Structure 1
Amino acid sequence: MRKSAALVASLSLLALSNPRAAELPPQLGYSIALRNDHGVETQALSLPVGGDTRQLKLVGGVVEVTPPAKAGGISVIKLFADGKPGRLLHTARISRPDGQPVRVAYSLCGGQVGYQSPAPDKLDGCAAGAN
């Protein structure tokens, strides 16, 4: 019992001595997959709620991820064509409960854009699966 009380007191003092730790915004995890004629590429990242937009350069496309402005808000994910700046192919607006990762899969197969959320656990290349 004494050890538990001492541990709680130590943790409380640690939290009080580092007030910035309590100020850090929660992180939201993202997993973005892109399937095309080159295969499947997946990238994962973690962004703070209220953080800046981040670009992921994937083989065949560029994905912009904007985290929500506040906890429980909406993330915006945009897919742009590779090699054609500014050519927007798809925009997704996704809301997830706190702590739940955002999993998105895009496919660029046969000239068509496909989108899935949540992304499947396994994503085959264009030749192996339908759009």
Structure 2
Amino acid sequence: MSQINAIQSVDESGVISLAIWNNCIAAGYANGMIRFFDPENAQMCGSINAHARCINAIDCNEQGLLASVSDDCYVRIWKLSGDAENLQISHECNHRIENSKLVGIKFLNLSRSDLAVSAYDSSEVTIFRAI
């Protein structure tokens, strides 16, 4: 394995989670930001202030939905369109799970919006239909 590029952070916040959509790298940060990067040139092509606390997991599906979970107890769904040169991001929905530090999220089928969500110190996996 050899390194071919490196994406530098714009602040001191650490990258906690990664996902890929339409040849863009989506990075979830400890400060609640999600930033999007073009892997070809390592340039940032978009960002959203997604959560009030640390983002612990993100996932994307083929329909352009990005799901994120955070220490702030929220599951949030974003709609992505365009490409690295013209990325458009809109908030679709959110759901609060009271008293839960959410640590995992995964689309169950790449072409649908069913999600599995997990929380720290919980033996339960919750299934949602996002939209």
Larger fraction in helix: 1
TM-score higher than 0.5:
no
**Rg: which structure is higher?**
1
Larger fraction in strand: 2
Task: Using structure 1 for the length normalisation, give the TM-score.
Answer: 0.31
Task: Using structure 2 for the length normalisation, give the TM-score.
Answer: 0.31
